Amino acid sequence: MQPFEKIADEVREEFQIPPYFDDTALMSYVKEGAAWMERLNPAYDPEGDSRCRGLLKNYVNYAYHHKINEFFDNYSSVILQWQLESEVPR
């Protein structure tokens, strides 16, 4: 199973997205979210960074509900913290 497929399956289960919703559309949201996350933070690693993975899954959920602008409003502080943590080692 590809990493994007695994994330799509997790999103479907965690956010109770119905099985009749097209897998292709969900995968499109995952790829779109991954592209955004990679632009926001060059240290993007959804496999090794749980915060990054959580942000990506939440992005997909908001995209599913056509509320991407609200995602960035609601998660801006988390995104900033994620960006800063990757720049400044603990």
3-state secondary structure of 43: coil
pLDDT given for residue 1 in this prediction:
56
Are 33 and 56 spatial neighbours (Cβ–Cβ below 8 Å)?
A: yes
Q: Please name the residue ranges forming H helices in the chain.
A: 3-14, 23-40, 50-64, 68-87
**How far apart are alpha carbons 49 and 52 in whole angstroms?**
5
Tell me: the pLDDT tens digits for 51-77? 999 999 999 999 999 999 999 999 999
Tell me: the pLDDT tens digits for 18-31? 999 999 999 999 99
Q: What are phi and psi of 65, to 5 degrees?
A: -90, 5
Q: What is the pTM of this model?
A: 0.91
Q: Where are the domains of the chain?
A: 48-90
Are 35 and 59 spatial neighbours (Cβ–Cβ below 8 Å)?
A: no
